[in-house]
Structure 1
Amino acid sequence: MHFPGMPAPLARVVEMLSSLPGVGPKTAMRMGLNLLTRPAGDAAALAQALECLHEQVGFCPVCGCFSEQGHCHFCDDPSRDAATLCVVEQPVDVLMMERGHGYRGSYHVLLGRLSPVDGVGPEQLRLASLDQRMKQGINEIILATSATVDGEATAHYLANRYQHAGVSVSRISRGVPEGGELEYLDEHTLSRALDQRVSWQHHA
């Protein structure tokens, strides 16, 4: 959306903000104007935080979750159950699962989900590293992909891939609504879904 008479620097900020998910041109305009009316130090602090984001935050080479350097603190925590592995789609899903304070196992982040329409197949997911981890004494794999069509397809694929690996395969329960994304659920729903997980055979 073009706003006649808008200064070029402000237009650039509005353009960048409107490229973010869920932010339309009008919302981006309000955000840009808000930044402009704040003290210059606030805008500088925001710019510095954004600059540090890519410099200081990466992904854990073991589980794929957010990490500031090396392994994430979940993988480095010796009190967590390394034999139980919860598989999620994105790093933000790990953060949401942790809000429930009920799960003390390990995680594996796929960095996506199967979606043939979008050209996402098994080779685009972090399955090679998951295969390696499955050989390291895993007793149970919990499939915590989203309750969407693609999330369910991913869970089915993983269950078929690992159900003969000598491990228990379970799926988080229907506390997660159909079509629901983990990042939008409250911690109580997620905690209940984990506690009431069912075996994959029963789920299917």
Structure 2
Amino acid sequence: MKAYILKLTFEDITPLIWRRVIMPADATFHRLHQTIQAVTNFQSTLSPYHFFGVTIDDYFITDNEVIRADYADNKYSSKKAKAPTSIKIDAIIEQHGEFLYTYDFGDDWRIRVELEEIVEDYYFGYPTLLDGEGTAPPEDVGGPPGYELFLEVYHDPKHPDYLHTKSWAKQQNYKPYDAARINEYLKMVKIKKTEWQLIDHDNYHVLSDKYRGPAN
């Protein structure tokens, strides 16, 4: 099936934190949001701020229902507010090649979504993490500046707030980058039916695949 290889890169964070994923075509922006949440340490919990937005062409695509309701008859920053379940990424990513995904209207995380390749030989109905680097920030840490301060305390056992910060990070589900764990999460982001007849598998246990590699 047709699929996109995308590189997802956090902006304003040093050293770079990035993920490379492949996801089936025909995915909505809602599915893209779920994919980004799965490959980071974000949890998209209920909060006044935990929404995302993509400004592209004539649209502001967001899962913030309040914004969409308030601007149903008017434009939001000169754009039409649209639900992420109503727009697919295909035409937009193929035309523009990249766009910014903004998450958490408080912390204001910005992740650049870049199209690296379009392929026709991906057979899984859900995304797959191909590569990546760096541990993603936890939820509600205060954006890039807050994350920088968080890391200073988190890695300094002599800091007076060290134990509190470690405990808070655990509550926020702050985990090191783990490709195998992430790929288990991504199986829940179902976009299409998996084409098992084209995959080398034994009772749905993948033996080998170009994008998922050999079985462990």
TM, length-normalised to structure 2:
0.21
The structure whose residues are more often strand, as a share, is: 2
Higher relative contact order (CA 8 A, sep 6+): 2
Structure of larger gyration radius: 1
